[in-house]
Amino acid sequence: MGYSGQLCEMEIDNCASAPCKNGAVCINKVNAYSCLCQKGWTGSNCTTDVDECSQGLNNCDQHAMCTNTPGSYNCTCNSGYRGDGFTCTGKCTDQLLDLSMQLFKCNKYYLFLLA
């Protein structure tokens, strides 16, 4: 098995049926194949999503919430923070009113940052 042709001269392409999913690379072997999964996928055929959130494989900011998605994940800044989810900053820090005094306005309250 693993070969075809009268003299068994042709190796069967075990990747012909495209068994590797989600963009994985299929490597043909004698009587077998293996899949090189894209990032975010796992399993013998790369059909199992990696849960980056529960496995700690994400780069979400410490002030962000991680949401698992098929093949990837999303980061969303927590309430009170803004950014792209990978870097979240407090709302207060970008409402600088007086640099010399380090006086910030945080919502309707004023806040002195202690150096």
Residues at the site binding Ca ion, with contacts judged by CB under 5 A:
49, 68, 73
112 Cβ neighbours under 8 A, 6+ residues apart: 101, 102, 103, 104
Quick one: 11 or 51, whose CB is closer to Ca ion? 51
The answer to whether residues 81 and 63 touch, using CB atoms and an 8 Å cutoff, is yes
Q: Which residues are 36's β-sheet partners? A: 25
Nearest residue (CB) to Ca ion, 11 versus 49: 49
* Encoded tokens for 68: 């698992």
Minimum Å distance from CB 68 to Ca ion? 5
Using an 8 Å Cβ cutoff, are 105 and 111 in contact?
yes
Judged by beta carbon, residue 20 or residue 33, the one nearer Ca ion is: 20
Q: Smallest distance from the beta carbon of 83 to Ca ion, in angstroms?
A: 21
Q: Are strands 81-83 and 72-77 parallel, antiparallel or unpaired?
A: unpaired
Q: Are 19 and 26 in contact (CB under 8 A)?
A: yes
Q: Shortest approach of Ca ion to residue 58 CB, angstroms?
A: 9
Q: How far is the CB of 40 from Ca ion (least distance, A)?
A: 5
Return the number of the residue (74 or 95) whose C-beta is nearest Ca ion: 74
